[in-house]
Amino acid sequence: MRSIALSCAGLAAAFVLLPAVAQAQAPRTYVSSSGHGTAECSRAAPCVRFQDAHDATAPGGIVTCLDYGDYGELRITKSITIECNAAGARIGAPDTGIDVTGPVVFTLRGVWIDGGNVGAIGILMRAGGQLHVENCHISGLRGFPPGAGILLTGNNLDATIVDSVIGIMALRRAAAAS
């Protein structure tokens, strides 16, 4: 009887020490210039930063802009779409506007990335995957000689650019590491 009680207590302690289950991610999230720092980024309670919405969105999901705003720099770590055609959006890019890591499919629609004549890279895609840029404007990049609107590094990268204006060195593929 005593060994059963100790086993049950040990099992209960193990459950308490397990990491908390991650909050479920939504297939569609929203950003707004009047949003809040909420974790859910719903239409009723939108986020104010792209990064928060990205983190709350399920892989393969969509982040939608409800109005025009500057939604901050962004690090993409999963396949996702940022869709702002109806409202537009801006990313001030003092260094890199959007940093895409890992083999992902990333689609960007209706976003203006502005380096303010000091930014280095509009979109940096690092390690395989697909990049789709539609209806975007990338400019004001001067910091990375000679500046790169879109910089692809690594192998197995595909980029499709449609109806977009991209500043200096529109598309640059970095030399593959030997």
| 14 inside domain | no
Residues paired with residue 63 on neighbouring β-strands, in sequence order: 29, 82
* Tens-place pLDDT, residues 37-56: 777 899 999 999 999 999 99
pLDDT band at 20 (very low <50, low <70, confident <90, very high): very low
**How high is the pLDDT of residue 19?**
38
Tens of pLDDT, residues 92-120: 877 889 999 989 999 999 999 988 877 78
What is the domain count for the chain? 1
For residue 136, the enclosing domain spans 24-173
- pLDDT bucket at 141, cuts 50 / 70 / 90: confident
pTM: 0.80
Specify if 159 maps to a domain: yes
Q: What is the DSSP letter of 66?
A: S
Q: What token pair was written down for 57?
A: 């969105």
For residue 60, give the nearest of 31, 35, 26 by alpha carbon: 26
Residue 144: strand, helix, or coil: coil
Contacting residues for 136 by C-beta, under 8 A, at least 6 apart = 108, 109, 110, 111, 112, 113, 164, 165, 166
